[in-house]
Amino acid sequence: MAAAGSDVTFLVRAKRAEQLASRGLVVNSRYGDLALRPNMAVAVNEVFDVVLIACKSYDLETALPAIRPAIGPGTLVIPLLNGLRHLEILDAAYGREKVAGGSVHIGVTLGSGGEIQHLNGLHYLTFGPRWESQAEACRALHAEMKKSEFQAILSPKISQDLWEKFVYLTTYAGITCLMRSSIGAISKTRDGTAIARELLAECVAVSTASEVPPRDDFLKNCITKLTESNSTGTSSMLRDMQKGLRTEYEHILGDMLNRARAAGIAAPILRMAYTSVQAYELVRAHTGVC
């Protein structure tokens, strides 16, 4: 959006601000590389039309007070975090009438020099109103986003979209973290594909019990991606583990497991995936490395 000329300000931490001031915002992508000198701030004291929240889930609580000065009576807040649990937190913090729904589908990682490396062909952002009062602001934002090079989708069924991504991401992260392997490697094992399908079925059962059954075309696409024998894809959660970093396991695997238990759904594969990453986090917290 900044490259397309939109009026964008990046709210960043001090270390990231130093990187951006020194090297600029660098994005390496098959769709074209970018090198920008963006507007940025380490604190805000003015109200914005739209606030896009793109931190990790475990940083949300500390981000809330930093974002608050930017939110006025007419501000639209769009979180791009994974999962669903953050919606309740943001509703309580800012009022649910301000918080729309949003998600991104993109494979990226941060390079050693602070550059953003786009890893695959996905680059779309889906958002939409959770309440009718947000519809006009969402339409205005969509018109602005369409000037950019990524695919912006204004969804009339954002709750369905968010649940489906939650199902897919939990399965994808769960199976790759449990096996510490790519989708392709897992699918070439004797039982890998069957286990991936079982984990998907558990997550689908939770979504259905929550009165948001996934659509058939979504499920077909999920199965294709989860069983692709030539895929080198791994979840960002696994990539974080491989770097010895903190993960979003509680916000994704843990939240899905809690919802399964509340609905009385047995989820043995999900339990193992959650426990596997929890053990990693316990070791990482104790030793500082894993």
pLDDT confidence of residue 289: 55
CA angle, 255 as apex, 249 and 261 as ends, to 5°? Answer: 130
Report how far residue 204's alpha carbon sits from residue 170's, in angstroms, rounded to the nearest whole number.
10
How many C-beta atoms lie closer than 10 Å to residue 71's C-beta?
19
Helix axes 85-94, 60-67, angle to 10 degrees: 30
Say yes or no: do domains 9-156 and 161-287 share a fold. no
Report how far residue 106's alpha carbon sits from residue 2's, in angstroms, rounded to the nearest whole number.
18
What pTM value is reported for the model? Answer: 0.90
Give every CB contact of residue 239 below 8 A, 6+ residues apart in sequence. Answer: 109
pLDDT tens digit string along 233-246? 999 999 999 999 99
- Average pLDDT of the segment spanning 176-205: 97
Residue holding tokens 């979209």?
161
CA–centroid distance for 122 within its chain: 13
Length of the chain: 290
Report how far residue 32's alpha carbon sits from residue 24's, in angstroms, rounded to the nearest whole number.
16
pLDDT tens digit string along 80-100? 999 999 999 999 999 999 999
pLDDT at residue 108 greater than cutoff 90: no
Domain boundaries, the chain: 9-156, 161-287
pLDDT confidence of residue 122: 86
pLDDT confidence of residue 119: 87
pLDDT at residue 10 greater than cutoff 90: yes
Q: Which of the four CATH numbers 3.90.320.10, 3.40.50.720, 3.20.20.10, 3.90.1010.10 does domain 9-156 have? A: 3.40.50.720
Instruction: Please give the class, per CATH, of domain 161-287.
Output: mainly alpha
Report how far residue 54's alpha carbon sits from residue 215's, in angstroms, rounded to the nearest whole number.
27
Question: Do the strands 25-28 and 34-36 form a parallel or antiparallel pair, or are they unpaired?
Answer: antiparallel
Active site residues: 165
